[in-house]
Amino acid sequence: MRRILFLPVILIMALTSAFPESGKIITKSPIVILTFDDAVISQYKTVAPLLKKYHFGATFFICEFPLKKSVDSIQYMNWNQIKKLYQMGFEIGNHTGHHKNVTKLDKNQIMNELIFIEDKCKANGIPKPVSFAYPGNRTDSLSQVVLKEMGYRFARAGGSRCYNPTTDFSLLIPSYTMGSAQKLQLRTSKALENLKSGQILVLTIHGVPDVLHPAYSTSPDLFIHYLKFMHDHHFKVIALHDLGKIFEHTTNFTLK
């Protein structure tokens, strides 16, 4: 009898003492999750050293592209560089083997795309990824089922809104796309300025800069401006898989 009464009380305490608005606690700081897509070389050369300087965590979502010109290969990281990111303490996530729109694939094809990156990770001493980012932010129920079956805990999509762990499925985590293009810049700046204590903002970032995809490029100056803003406002800046560690501290709360 006592046990039945006790558990709901703990649960209510865990939920209310946490996020004042959406429900759960974790930390008093606003939380930003940095995710970098497509294995762009500037993520290794520019982004990683800056993140280390600020002691920020991040997830790098890796895929391989069919290269249109041989010169394009210098625009992407090789697996030695990806391995170094892991050794620096960053999370390596799966972005499909070949940047495939998963909504056009059958179950086996999705599995093969996931396994392609898992095998490369294994060969390079990187743990099997637990985080995934949908290429082009395109998702459907089949891909979510396959991800769950294959042991993925977090999957990032688009949507330009904050992530609410009490209502959002952890394989359908919304994010804002960062970029120097005016529309992206306005959205990201506003989202960061409005981020409240305990809220979670996930950012999707491509190259800093991104030579091959200028529409999604973020200039190093703008990127540094955002890093300073997060640092000066005491934001907690983490990788996607760190969400698991945060929630493990809140008893009786499980991610959806």
Q: Judged by CB, which is closer to Zn ion: 24, or 156?
A: 156
Q: Judged by CB, which is closer to Zn ion: 38, or 113?
A: 38
Which residues, in sequence order, are CB contacts of 196 under 8 Å at separation 6+?
Answer: 20, 21, 30
Yes or no: say if 33 and 241 are a contact pair by the CB < 8 Å rule. no
Among positions 19, 26, 34, 38, the unique one binding Zn ion when judged by CB under 5 A: 38
Q: How far is the CB of 31 from Zn ion (least distance, A)?
A: 23
Q: How far is the CB of 233 from Zn ion (least distance, A)?
A: 28
Q: Judged by CB, which is closer to Zn ion: 38, or 91?
A: 38
Per CB under 5 A, contacts with Zn ion among 127-146 are: 135
Q: State the binding string over 191-210 for Zn ion (x if CB under 5 A, else -).
A: --------------------
CA distance 224 to 187: 17
Which residues, in sequence order, are CB contacts of 71 under 8 Å at separation 6+?
Answer: none
Q: How far is the CB of 28 from Zn ion (least distance, A)?
A: 33
CA distance 183 to 178: 10
Per CB under 5 A, contacts with Zn ion among 39-68 are: none
Q: Which residue is nearest to Zn ion (CB)?
A: 37
Among positions 37, 113, 168, 210, the unique one binding Zn ion when judged by CB under 5 A: 37
Q: How far is the CB of 21 from Zn ion (least distance, A)?
A: 31
Residue with structure tokens 């209510």?
A: 12
Which residues, in sequence order, are CB contacts of 195 under 8 Å at separation 6+?
Answer: 30, 32, 162, 201, 235
CA distance 65 to 140: 22
Residues that bind Zn ion (CB under 5 A): 37-38, 135
